[in-house]
Amino acid sequence: MEVDFRTDATFTIIKGRFKAPASSSFGLFIIFMDNVTKNVDRFDIIASHFSTVYENSLSMPWNELEDLIAKMKWKGEYATNLTHDIQATLEDLFEPGTGRGVDIWQSIKKAQMNKTSAIIEEYLMRPTGDKNIKSELAVETINSSAIEEVKRTRQGSSNSGSAGETMQMQPAQGDTLNLGDSSVVLDISLVLAPINGISLMEIQEGEKILVKISEETSRGQYFIDLLDASRDHEVIPIPASIVKVTSDGKFFTVLVSIGPGVYGKAIQEDNIKVKRYDPSRDTRKPKTEKMEMMQNMQNMQLNQENNPLDPNKKEAKQPNLVLFLAIGGFALLVLLILIILFS
C-alpha cells in the first residue's frame, strides 16, 4: 500500500476499528496526524461491549466515520468507562516527546501498516484486558481546505435544521402522560439489536426491552446502584416495559417503566431495532423486589398509624372488660350480704 504524501496533503487520517473477544470489547476510532509536526492534532474514540460497533466498515469517508462516532455518543450507544480508559491510553500513545506518534507516522509513510497496527494493539491491550486484540486500519490523506469545507457544510446543515429539529424534539401536548408528582423519569439509552430486535414502529405497549440508565447525573447513578445495574463499574442493560412510543418525523420518543414510580425516557433518531428482554439471562440481584417489599412495609405502617383503632386490638380488650364487671358485681353482692347480717 502506498500513501500519497503530496505537498498539499497536510493531514494523515487513520481510521480504525478493533475487537477484543476475550473481554467483549469493540471500538472505532479516528486519528488526525499533522504531516508537518508528525504529532496528533485530534482523535475520537468510541468503545462498546456489543460487536455491532465493529461491524462498521472503514471504507466510508473520514467525515462520515467522524459523524458516526459522534452520533453513537449522542445516542449513548457506548461503554462510558471503557471509552474513557481507551481515550486516556491513546493520549499516552500520542503524547509528544514520550509517545509513539512519530513511529506510527513513519510506519504509515513506509506503508508498514502491520507495524502500525502492532503499536496500537500493544497500547490497547491494557484497557481492554485482552492480549489477542486485533485492529484494522485505513488511511486517508487530506489538506486543511478539505477539513474546512466539511466544517462549513456541517455548520450550514446545523443552522438550517436547528429550528426544525427543536420542534421535533418537543413532544406534542397529546403525547404527554401524567406520571404523578412522586414519579422519577431517568435518561436512558436503548440497547440495539439490528438483526433479531424489534423496531420502534412495531413494538407494543407492555413489551419488555433492555435499556441502560445514563450515569451522567447523580440521580441516575443512585438508581444504577439501587437496581444493581452495573458490573465492574460498567453500566449493564436492565429490563423495562414499554409505556408509550411516539414519533415526530424521524425522531422517536420512547417512555418505559423501570420499576414502581421509576420511568425512563429516550429520544431516538430513525426507526431502529431494540433488544427484547430475556429473563433467563438476567443475572442481577433481586434489588427491585427488596425495594417493593420495603415500600409495602412502609405503607402498612402508615395505614396502622392512620387507623389506630384496629379491630383485632378492640376484640382483645373486650375480655378484660367482662372480667372487670364480673369482679365488681361479685364484690357488690358480698358487701350487701355483710350489711344485712350486721344490721
pLDDT tens-digit series, residues 204-243: 999 999 999 988 777 888 888 888 888 888 889 999 999 9
pLDDT score of 205: 92
Give the residue from 80, 84, 83 showing the smallest Cα distance to 213. Answer: 80
Q: How far apart (Å, rounded) are the C-alpha atoms in residues 244 and 263? A: 11
| Lowest mean pLDDT segment, chosen from 13-17, 179-183, 216-220, 264-268 | 179-183
Give the residue from 43, 40, 174, 150 showing the smallest Cα distance to 98. Answer: 40
Residue 178: pLDDT above 70?
Answer: no
Q: Which H or E run includes 15? A: strand 11-20
pLDDT score of 33: 92
Compute the average pLDDT of residues 114-120: 95
Q: How far apart (Å, rounded) are the C-alpha atoms in residues 114 and 108? A: 9
Q: Which residues are within 8 A (CB) of 162 and not within 5 positions of it... i.e. 6 or more apart?
A: none
What is the torsion angle, in degrees rounded to the nearest 10, for the CA atoms of residue 81, residue 266, residue 161 and residue 57? 50
Residue 120: pLDDT above 70?
Answer: yes
Per-residue pLDDT reduced to its tens digit, 156-176: 765 554 444 433 333 333 344
Residue 12: pLDDT above 50?
Answer: yes
| Lowest mean pLDDT segment, chosen from 52-61, 114-123, 263-272, 302-311 | 302-311
Percent of the chain with pLDDT over 70: 78
Residue 74: pLDDT above 90?
Answer: no
Give the residue from 86, 267, 94 showing the smallest Cα distance to 165. Answer: 267
pLDDT score of 299: 53
pLDDT score of 311: 45
Strands (E) located in 91-237: 134-142, 184-190, 198-199, 208-213, 230-231, 234-235
Give the residue from 222, 240, 244 showing the smallest Cα distance to 178. Answer: 244
* Residue 295 pLDDT grade (very low, low, confident, very high; cuts 50, 70, 90): low
Do the Cβ atoms of 59 and 80 come closer than 8 Å? no
* Residue 51 pLDDT grade (very low, low, confident, very high; cuts 50, 70, 90): confident
pLDDT score of 117: 95
Do the Cβ atoms of 15 and 58 come closer than 8 Å? yes
Q: How far apart (Å, rounded) are the C-alpha atoms in residues 81 and 76? A: 12
Residue 343: pLDDT above 50?
Answer: yes
pLDDT score of 152: 83
The pTM (predicted TM-score) of the whole model is 0.49
Measured CA distances, 22 to 50, 91, 129, 130, 230 (Å):
13, 24, 8, 6, 19
* Residue 5 pLDDT grade (very low, low, confident, very high; cuts 50, 70, 90): very low
Higher pLDDT, 117 or 267: 117
pLDDT score of 226: 85
Give the residue from 115, 136, 52, 45 showing the smallest Cα distance to 85. Answer: 45
Compute the average pLDDT of residues 46-63: 90
Beta bridge partners of 199: 273
Do the Cβ atoms of 264 and 211 come closer than 8 Å? yes
pLDDT score of 289: 52
